Chain A
Amino acid sequence: MQELQEREESRIGIYVCHCGSNIGGVVDCEGVAAYGQTLPDVIVSRHEGYLCSEPGQNQIKTDIQEQRLNRIVVASCSPRLHEPTFRKCLAEAGLNPYLLEMANLREQCSWVHSHDPEGATQKSKDLVRSAVARARWLAGREEMEVPIEPATLVIGGGVAGIQAALDLADSGYRVILVEKQPSIGGIMAWLDKTFPTMDCSI
């Protein structure tokens, strides 16, 4: 449908992370990288000790610039952990951060199939193949900016809610502090002395 518009030629870089021994101790990372090299549109396919480290990220940036890569596949941990890290890395190399795809070799392979290195490696290759297939279809995205209301709703007027409200208010933000009881204070107001310093609660 609408997507079948002309696409630029994909130049994909694959980066397989050992994560020390977290991935490399189970998955044959070198084998996965070598397999990645055989996939269509893949220009470089490397494996590194720690991709999230500065040298790791610098390698990606250098390749983007020198090899004119326009899609990046990072095969490491969960995107829920390091997607922001690698998106930033792409942006710093001048590539739209949405041209990144991650394959989750740690949470989904090495950590959960630790006693089955072969199965974990096969799964890693499949996940990399799937990521490369998706990467070919990726398009850059721009994040829109909207104004933000400089006010905070704090739900609950116990010691945490009171502290939050005061810190915000002192920083110049408007605060709506909502408490269901007739007074703020919460559980803290019950207490006379508090540990470990034995001072008063209120």
Chain B
Amino acid sequence: MADAGRHPNITLLTQSEIKSVSGYVGNFQVQILKKARYVKEDQCTACGDCVQVCPVLVPNEFNMGLSSRRAIYQPFPQAIPSAYVMDINNCLGYDPVVCGKCIEKCKKKCIDFNMNDQELTFKVGTIIVATGMEVYDPTEMDEYGYTRYENVLTSPEFERLINAGGPTQGQVLRLTDRKPPKSVAFIQCVGSRSQRRGEPYCSNICCMNTVKSTLMLKDHDPDLDVKVFYIDMRAFGKGFEDLFRRSKGMGVRYIRGLPGSIQEDPKSKDLILTVEDTATNQLEKHRAEMVVLAVGVKPPQDMKTIQEMLALQKNSDGFYLEAHPKLQPVDSATRGIFFAGCAEGPKDIKDAVTQASAAVARAVRLMNPKRLRVEAITAEVVAEDCTSCGICAKVCPFRAITVDTRAKTPARVTVAACSGCGTCAAECPSNAIMMHHFTDGQIEAQIDAILEQDPLQRILVFACNWCSYAGADFAGVSRLQYPPNARLIRTMCSGRVSEKFVWRAFEKGSPVVLVSGCHIGDCHYLNANHWTERRVKRMQKKMEKMGLRAERLQLEWISAAEGLRFKEVMEKMERLRQSVTEQEVTETKRILIDRSAVPEQEVQ
């Protein structure tokens, strides 16, 4: 920790938030808001003189409110930076009439109430997302009485109690009588592995964390009665089974079964746990002077901000989705962005550190050659066909197209900024944009080839590379079975799917067409799928006007983690396909071949 604070290559920004990220791999522009500390970080020696005079007392959040701190404080003794910090919301202020005592006391004059929040801008080549996790709040599991009984603690609270740097200097004491308990019970899987409350997944660290805590308790007092109530003890890692055995060897009792309720003895404040031991099928009552809830791990609440800023995807557990679960476990789907630690899923310190080093290796692999090959799948304007209408520049999510609509000069694509979604090509009313590697000719050839034989039996599906095509892959990996009629055409983004592709498919006898992409907010190309949505709705309106059943064109958002949803959509499309008769298809062809029936693409 201390090394990170003083390394010449590291700019450490605490109390800081990312405001925006723009650009692309190799050249990201990052804007950061650094909030005012009101103490000069580089001058404060952490002498602690200011703390002694501060009259304000507030709960210490680092100790889970088990102790208090002043308005000017150090979060914990080994904090980096070690400089003190002012909690401006609780400080009485610098007006000498009201307070201002710390300013007077500080010999080095480090306290500065005029300090402002700073907006900083940096240019970086790669990004590592290590946003961590939160712990589950057990309030909703009222049967454990966390909010009613003081001697019921969460595992982080217990952790602070047993920590030498914590509020009791490492002495485990009951909150009700400040005496060391003679018996402690741990309850596992609080907020984990439950379909009903909390999270459905295993939080990965709680079993071993409890084993560790039991050993620490036994170290303090070998006669202490320690029980652990569990569903399964998962001691799967290197050295874990040894530690588990050591705990059992020291007399810790492991009882298979989670308590159904906890009652407090009103006099002694002891806790009575009612539990069915599933090994013996006996309903038992256990008395404990302290209960520790081994709470699970959750994705942090503010994850969505970063997710949207960096166009990342989440899996069903709510953690970030890696590019490939085995082969690219630390890469995001966005090139140049990597994951480390619990951002990608619950993990212990060793795994977090391993993953961090892996993410660094992946980032260095990109940066080391000093030059980077960029996307070859980019758009190009055919100058002689361009009418300089400006639509392409308007729809480009990356502002990679410039056009002077007044001077009527043809649009220009900044190739390095183009990410290749193809929205411009799909929206261009003059067919003046060539989307390389996903050209009109290439996609139309696929449509024609698919519908060459038995078109009435086919479901034509446009799937974006990052989400819905990946969702189809996930359905495959999961061996989910669905009707074999769908034929996928992959585009990089659903934004590439031009109106003319859909009309062509119907003209060639396709009974139904599906356009699928990333969920709104998850688009790999920022907001390109907004244009997909507008376009599909526009087409459905046109279909109605032409007397075609608009539901034959469907739009679905399917993420890379939604294999099951992909299967369900395929089943739905198959039911829809069966509702289309040969006569309806023939009639559609007639209407569409009479092209005058298709209104010209309206300029939005």
| A contact residues vs B (CB 8 Å cutoff) | 1-4, 78-81, 98, 104, 106-109, 111-116, 119-120, 122-123, 126-127, 129-134, 136-139, 141-198, 201-202
Distance from A35 Cβ to chain B, minimum over Cβ atoms (Å): 11
- Say whether B353 contacts A159, CB under 8 Å: yes
- Say whether B367 contacts A173, CB under 8 Å: yes
Asked if A197 meets B239 with Cβ closer than 8 Å, knowing A144-B374, A148-B370, the reply is yes
Asked if A146 meets B371 with Cβ closer than 8 Å, knowing A162-B4, A169-B9, A182-B75, the reply is yes
- Say whether B473 contacts A155, CB under 8 Å: no
- Say whether A139 contacts B436, CB under 8 Å: yes
- Say whether A120 contacts B484, CB under 8 Å: yes
Q: Residue on B with the closest CB to A196? A: B239
- Say whether A1 contacts B376, CB under 8 Å: no
Determine the main DSSP class of A at the interface with B: mixed
- Say whether B79 contacts A185, CB under 8 Å: yes
Distance from B486 Cβ to chain A, minimum over Cβ atoms (Å): 8
| Max chain B Cβ within 10 angstroms of own Cβ: one of A141, A178, A180, A185 | A178
- Say whether A112 contacts B479, CB under 8 Å: yes
| Max chain A Cβ within 10 angstroms of own Cβ: one of B125, B340, B355 | B340
Q: List 16 A-B contacts (CB under 8 A).
A: A78-B469, A78-B476, A139-B437, A146-B371, A156-B130, A161-B132, A162-B1, A163-B357, A173-B367, A174-B9, A175-B10, A176-B124, A178-B13, A179-B16, A185-B80, A192-B164
| Max chain A Cβ within 10 angstroms of own Cβ: one of B164, B342, B446 | B446
| B contact residues vs A (CB 8 Å cutoff) | 1, 3-5, 7-18, 21, 25-28, 30, 32, 37, 62, 75-76, 78-81, 85, 122-133, 135, 156, 159-160, 162-166, 170, 208-209, 211-212, 215-216, 237-240, 242-243, 306, 324, 327, 340-343, 348-349, 352-353, 355-357, 359-360, 363-364, 366-367, 369-377, 382, 385, 415-416, 431, 434, 436-437, 439-443, 445-446, 448-450, 452-453, 458, 465, 469-470, 472-473, 475-477, 479-485, 487-490, 567
B477 contact set on A, CB distance < 8 A: 107, 111
Q: B374: which of A143, A160, A187 is its contact (CB, 8 Å)?
A: A143
A123 vs B243: C-alpha distance in the bound complex, in angstroms? 53
Asked if A148 meets B349 with Cβ closer than 8 Å, knowing A155-B306, A180-B15, A196-B242, the reply is no
Distance from A37 Cβ to chain B, minimum over Cβ atoms (Å): 16
Distance from A67 Cβ to chain B, minimum over Cβ atoms (Å): 22
Asked if A196 meets B237 with Cβ closer than 8 Å, knowing A141-B377, A185-B79, the reply is yes
Distance from B203 Cβ to chain A, minimum over Cβ atoms (Å): 12
A187 contact set on B, CB distance < 8 A: 132-133, 135, 156, 342
Distance from A133 Cβ to chain B, minimum over Cβ atoms (Å): 4
A113 vs B129: C-alpha distance in the bound complex, in angstroms? 38
Known contacts A114-B479, A183-B14, A184-B80, then 14 further A-B pairs from the complex at CB < 8 Å, ordered by chain A residue: A78-B469, A119-B484, A122-B484, A155-B130, A156-B129, A158-B341, A159-B341, A160-B342, A161-B130, A180-B14, A180-B17, A182-B14, A192-B163, A196-B208
A117 vs B132: C-alpha distance in the bound complex, in angstroms? 45
Asked if A195 meets B209 with Cβ closer than 8 Å, knowing A162-B1, A186-B132, the reply is yes
Q: Residue on A with the closest CB to B371? A: A145
Total A-B Cβ pairs within 8 A: 370
A147 contact set on B, CB distance < 8 A: 26, 370-372
Distance from B24 Cβ to chain A, minimum over Cβ atoms (Å): 9
- Say whether B452 contacts A129, CB under 8 Å: yes
A133 contact set on B, CB distance < 8 A: 445-446, 448-449
Q: A2: which of B124, B240, B385 is its contact (CB, 8 Å)?
A: B385
Asked if A173 meets B4 with Cβ closer than 8 Å, knowing A144-B373, A156-B130, the reply is no
A148 contact set on B, CB distance < 8 A: 25-27, 125, 366-367, 369-372
- Say whether B131 contacts A155, CB under 8 Å: yes
Q: Residue on A with the closest CB to B238? A: A196
| Max chain B Cβ within 10 angstroms of own Cβ: one of A119, A122, A146 | A146
A144 contact set on B, CB distance < 8 A: 373-374, 376, 415-416
Asked if A127 meets B127 with Cβ closer than 8 Å, knowing A133-B445, A137-B439, the reply is no
- Say whether B128 contacts A155, CB under 8 Å: yes
A129 vs B450: C-alpha distance in the bound complex, in angstroms? 7
Q: A183: which of B79, B163, B352, B356 is its contact (CB, 8 Å)?
A: B79
- Say whether A169 contacts B449, CB under 8 Å: no
A142 vs B380: C-alpha distance in the bound complex, in angstroms? 14
Asked if A150 meets B484 with Cβ closer than 8 Å, knowing A155-B130, A180-B16, A185-B79, the reply is no
- Say whether A80 contacts B465, CB under 8 Å: yes
B353 contact set on A, CB distance < 8 A: 159-160, 163
- Say whether B481 contacts A115, CB under 8 Å: yes
Distance from B18 Cβ to chain A, minimum over Cβ atoms (Å): 6
- Say whether A192 contacts B442, CB under 8 Å: no
A148 vs B363: C-alpha distance in the bound complex, in angstroms? 11
B439 contact set on A, CB distance < 8 A: 3, 137, 139
B376 contact set on A, CB distance < 8 A: 98, 141-144
- Say whether A173 contacts B239, CB under 8 Å: no
- Say whether A175 contacts B9, CB under 8 Å: yes
Q: B453: which of A126, A145, A152, A159 is its contact (CB, 8 Å)?
A: A126
Asked if A182 meets B385 with Cβ closer than 8 Å, knowing A169-B7, A177-B13, A196-B237, the reply is no
Asked if A3 meets B27 with Cβ closer than 8 Å, knowing A143-B373, A194-B212, A198-B215, the reply is no
- Say whether B440 contacts A168, CB under 8 Å: no
A3 vs B437: C-alpha distance in the bound complex, in angstroms? 12
A175 contact set on B, CB distance < 8 A: 7, 9-11
